[in-house]
Each structure stands twice: as structure tokens, then as C-alpha cells.
Amino acid sequence: GAVVSQHPSRVICKSGTSVKIECRSLDFQATTMFWYRQFPKKSLMLMATSNEGSKATYEQGVEKDKFLINHASLTLSTLTVTSAHPEDSSFYICSARRRESADTQYFGPGTRLTVL
């Protein structure tokens, strides 16, 4: 299988606080992990791509200092939303690509972030 987990599944925080979301590939090594954002009834928007041991590549319009991504190992990537504001409330989904299956991304269950 190719299982990807995310933690937490839901988080509610106050405006101005920082929130960390973890993405783990449970049964495979992920050479690349992706972070997406999805607004209600909308498609997925790629935020950034991270390769293990190197800096993340951010999509145009995504603030690097706002959304900190760390890919410390082949099974873990973290997204930190710094100084969160209500407009950051969204559904954040990570995906991981295994070395052996070119281009196929396996998605985590998502994290619902609500900033009050």
C-alpha cells in the first residue's frame, strides 16, 4: 500500500498563533511531498513542493514566510502556518510521491484549519 497520514485532522486556533501540520508516509519513502490547499467546493491548489533535505519550492503567490515547510526525512514533512489569520482557514492536504511510482501522488486525509 501507500498510506499517507496527516496530523491533526482538525485544528481550531486563535488569530495570531502558529499551527503545525504533519504529513507522514507510513509504509514507503517519499522522495517528494506536496502541500495543497482546498477551499470549499473548489479544486486543489498546489502551495509548495518539498524534496527531502532541500528547501521547498513555492508556487507563485504563496508566501514562504507565512507557510513554512520542512521536509526533514523521507517520511515526514511539516507545514507551519505562522501568525494565522481567519483567511488562512482552509482544508490543507498533503501528498507524497514514492520513488518507485513515477508521478503518482498519494494523498493524506487532510487537515481542517479554522482560525478564529
Partner 1 sequence: AQKVTQAQTEISVVEKEDVTLDCVYETRDTTYYLFWYKQPPSGELVFLIRRNSFDEQNEISGRYSWNFQKSTSSFNFTITASQVVDSAVYFCALSERRYGGSQGNLIFGKGTKLSVKP
The footprint of partner 1 (CB under 8 A) covers: 2, 32, 34, 41-44, 46, 49, 51, 57, 91, 93, 95, 97, 101-110, 112
If the CB atoms of residues 2 and 62 are measured against partner 1, the closer one turns out to be 2
Q: How far apart are CA 103 and CA 98, in angstroms?
A: 8
Please say which residue, 70 or 82, places its beta carbon nearer to partner 1.
Answer: 70
Q: State in angstroms the smallest separation of the CB of 114 from partner 1.
A: 14
Nearest approach, Cβ of residue 88 and partner 1 (Å): 17
Instruction: Decide whether 14 or 41 has the Cβ nearer to partner 1.
Output: 41
